[in-house]
Structure 1
């Protein structure tokens, strides 16, 4: 990290279920739902530049939400993001990049914005870019967030499941969030609201995973490959679900390993996005 740059870490986030809520004001738009934040995440470094540019894992990248964040803050910067998480597979990488950029740019350029303001900027950028509806607010909170209301911090009430766990994940491929969100989401949202009620009544990790499995099936998002893995984990007595939106399975403990899969492992991240020390 250079003397005039700042760096932030944002946990990854997998959504188990959600409902879509549109609004004229993107700050009030978003999703309700629940998921897990992960100790694997995205590290974002921001430094002043004559012209804005971005790299993701040492490759030139163009993440619209990041560009929108910098535009909202009125700065030009070089943004360098690194992650070990799969891209485009339901881990909230674009949201993490946007939120990390907001936090790091605020310090680099002494923008004077509050934490909630920065989360709002990143959330709005994600919604307007069409790449996510609830990752940013979840990643700002950490833990096992439950999004009771849609929108940025001013509008979106949050709660959480008071638990931690080892988490395994397995990615079978990419899936376009934009394509799914651009389609008819009425049925998806109806099921998502039902699952939210179910989780709020019994806020435990097993309820989250069971509700997520039911959501994927009833919202017609479950793919054959993911379904096969979920069945294998269940046969071994494990708890697993499909990440929204991606060809990804996440499981508690060592559920995927016990079922014979070569899975990556991390933990539920106990806190939200943070700036790194100078």
Structure 2
């Protein structure tokens, strides 16, 4: 029997520009976001069997197509290690699933790094397999590279080898509230919506690069939220509530049904009290370091 586990941070995107290529490793996104220490733990158990693959999320057996496709991609690349083997994947998530927290990227990175010691693949190959899985499934474009980098990041160029730089975070934490699920592919497969995102996101990336700090990141992210029309009216109302009492603007979680901002200890209670009547999942998390 082989058993291993790995914990990967989650990630929130404030704004982005998608880039598509016939080469999945050049496909990705530019933009900016932040990695959260609250993330997802993956455990892999491999035993002799008939080749079955079972996946559980928070203890419940589920279909989980992105994780399943990641395991199948690994089996396809390294078939000799998985002949007559059953594979159990157990994900335990500290953030909402399919809600804009990059949980699918956390899951596939967790699978790749958990299985790394069994098949002796490099760290670089783990990242490439995770990114390829995300791109193939339209579940994310920039979350894998962002979670590997960690911190508050600006993705200057797209793809697996894209240029990424960090913005200093000081002692800030990430505050996020989620009201439910939203499929990333529902946006990425909408050509009209993608055109709006590309135009708006490109301008905002240049604005952030000219003055890379947390305040400007949140201003750019809030502008993106309103200009693209991705976020619901209910979330827009929450964004205004938070922005009114917090030292930093709030913005929509891309792509999810939620909002996020950065908070210091002085503002934490004010923000929580302002949302006391809102029903949703609230996450207050330190900013994560990178995987490497």
TM over 0.5: yes
One of 215, 219, 230 as aligned partner of 2:224: 215
Q: What is the number of equivalent residue pairs in this alignment?
A: 267
Q: 2:164 — aligned with what?
A: 158
Deviations 1:72-131 (A, max 9, x none): 322452111001211111101111100110110112x2x222212211110110110111
The separation in 2 between residues aligned to 1:38 and 1:140, in whole angstroms, is 12
C-alpha distance in 1, partners of 2:67/2:179? 26
For 1:71, the equivalent position in structure 2 comes to 72
SS of 2:5's equivalent? strand
Q: CA RMSD in A?
A: 1.7
SS of structure 2 residue aligned to 1:5: strand
- Equivalent position of 1:257 in the other structure: 272
Correspondence 1:142 to 2:150 = yes
Cα deviations by residue, 1:170-226 (Å, 9 ceiling, x for unpaired): 112211211111102011111111111111111111111111000111112132111
Unaligned runs of 5+ residues in structure 1 are: none
Distance in 2, Cα, partners of 1:56 & 1:260: 28
Instruction: List, as ranges, runs of 4+ consecutive aligned residues in structure 1 with deviation greater than 6 Å.
Output: none
> Which stretches in structure 2 are left out of the alignment for 5+ residues?
76-81
Instruction: Tell which deviates more after alignment, 72-81 or 236-245.
Output: 72-81
If you compute each CA radius of gyration, which structure gives the higher value, 1 or 2? 2
- Contact in 1 for aligned 2:245/2:271 (Cα 8 Å): no
Equivalent residues in 2 for 1:18-97, closer than 5 Å: 18-49=16-47, 50=49, 51-74=52-75, 75=82, 77-97=87-107
Scaled by the length of structure 1, the TM-score of the pair is 0.90
Q: Tell me, in whole angstroms, the C-alpha distance in 2 between the residues paired with 1:258 and 1:213.
A: 22
- 2:176 corresponding residue in structure 1: 169
* Residue 42 of structure 1: how far off its partner (Å): 0.1
One of 189, 196, 200 as aligned partner of 1:182: 189
Does the CA contact (< 8 Å) of 1:65 and 1:122 recur in 2?
Answer: no
